[in-house]
Structure 1
Amino acid sequence: MFEEYIHKKFSALGNTIGQSEVAIEKATYGFLALIYTLINIIAVITVSYVLGVLYPALISLIAFALLRHYSGGIHSSHPLGCILISALAFPLLGKLSYFINSTFNGLNNSILILIFIISLLVISKKAPIDTPQKPIKSLDHKKRLKNSSILIVCLLFIFSLIIQNHSQITLISIQLGVIFQILMLPPINIRKQ
């Protein structure tokens, strides 16, 4: 209903200023993507704040989003599903960050290196993942996305090493965000299904 309302408003505005149907569709899609992203972030912040895990949840979300932008992955069939999953998953990752830190006294170098190696292997093999709605047509573009995904994993690993002695919660939250994104890369390309 909301999407239909927005589409009607954008169609009326686009027709008034003489825009093509394609331009109207792109503008509508972009606006809805922005609105759903903002709602998603607000939902994560709200639930995380209520549960007392705002900082680690946001760190996990940032690490996840940085990697996801380049590597792609599984999408919910509807934006509200994505909002619900995010509002549950990232506060849970925040709780898990505190649990790992208090129970295991943080992450040691061996675990950090293991996460890094597994992440690189998975990204190298699977990323980027495209979808029927957003296919990656150019092999050159696909290669750039893969290289960018690998670079993001490397930068997050280096940053984690730098902060290791200063903030275990930040380090753990970053690694959980990376692991969550790696889990969002399906065993086969979505478009092939």
Structure 2
Amino acid sequence: MKNYKKLIDSWATTLAQPMQGNKEDNRAIMAYALHLVIFNIILTLSTLLTSIWLGVFATAAVALLASGSLRIFSGGYHCSSPVTCLLLTVSLFNIYGEGAVILTNYTKFYQVLGALIVIMWLALWFIIKNAPVETPNKPIREERKPGLKKKALMVWLFWTVILVILTVIDFNGYKQFILAIGLGIANQTFSISGWLKNKRKEV
């Protein structure tokens, strides 16, 4: 861990050198950005490699993409530690991937459509109401918030259009992916709902 921190600090110092402004502030920003990028690469690779091993790569990847693309702009709940985040992400998205495959055999058109309408409506509601959701260690400047909310709404619209297209073209043929997108969006909707934040306050 110490060697990892030293390596990050070294890279951050090098990258901060040509930047204008306070060198120490620039170094801290670059160190945080590098840590974030590296951690998210590890997170994604761990999730996808596990999904390959479990045989649910396609659906797990789609769920991760749907949730992750919305999370970039809407923010959301963060785990208390990187290890918890890693374990929870790998577990959840592989459960979603497996769930999409299993539910394909047990759900009918009207059931999937009803669930999607509820999920997408709730996602839209919480994006408008709460996004972008910030965390204590990652505050968002006020002037950036309207732009992030707008981009989150555009991502929501993108996935809504994709769901409509897949449903119209071949619902049964794309059913696994439709369910995977729905589960991914549901995951992020829960993350920005505020419920987890409120539960943490109650503990």
Corresponding residue number in structure 2 for 1:137: 141
The correspondence for 1:100, drawn from 103, 111, 114, is 103
Is 2:53 aligned against 1:50? yes
Instruction: Give the Cα–Cα distance (whole angstroms) in 2 for the partners of residues 180 and 72 of structure 1.
Output: 12
**Per-residue deviation, 1:128:** 1.2
Structure 1: 5+ residue stretches without partners: none
Corresponding residue number in structure 1 for 2:38: 35
**Per-residue deviation, 1:175:** 0.8
* Deviates most, 1-10 or 61-70: 1-10
Q: 1:148/1:189 Cα in 2 relative to 1: closer, same or farther (>3 Å)?
A: farther
Structure 2: 5+ residue stretches without partners: none
Amino acid at match of 1:172: L
Instruction: Give the Cα–Cα distance (whole angstroms) in 1 for the partners of residues 57 and 78 of structure 2.
Output: 24
Corresponding residue number in structure 2 for 1:24: 27
**Per-residue deviation, 1:7:** 4.4
Is 2:175 aligned against 1:168? yes
Amino acid at match of 1:83: L
Alignment: residue pair count: 189
Instruction: Give the Cα–Cα distance (whole angstroms) in 2 for the partners of residues 114 and 11 of structure 1.
Output: 44
Q: 1:8/1:126 Cα in 2 relative to 1: closer, same or farther (>3 Å)?
A: closer
Amino acid at match of 1:115: I
- Kept after mapping to 1: 8 A contact 2:67/2:188: yes
Instruction: Give the Cα–Cα distance (whole angstroms) in 2 for the partners of residues 189 and 5 of structure 1.
Output: 34
Q: 1:124/1:11 Cα in 2 relative to 1: closer, same or farther (>3 Å)?
A: closer
* Deviates most, 107-116 or 153-162: 107-116
1:50-129 equivalences under 5 Å are 50-105=53-108, 108-129=112-133
Instruction: Give the Cα–Cα distance (whole angstroms) in 1 for the partners of residues 157 and 13 of structure 2.
Output: 47
Instruction: Give the Cα–Cα distance (whole angstroms) in 1 for the partners of residues 67 and 14 of structure 2.
Output: 36
**Per-residue deviation, 1:105:** 4.2
Amino acid at match of 1:44: T
Instruction: Give the Cα–Cα distance (whole angstroms) in 1 for the partners of residues 113 and 193 of structure 2.
Output: 28
Give the alignment's TM-score, normalised by structure 2. 0.82
- Kept after mapping to 1: 8 A contact 2:12/2:30: no
Over aligned residues, Cα RMSD in angstroms?
A: 2.4
State the secondary structure of the residue aligned to 1:104: coil
State the secondary structure of the residue aligned to 1:76: coil
State the secondary structure of the residue aligned to 2:192: coil
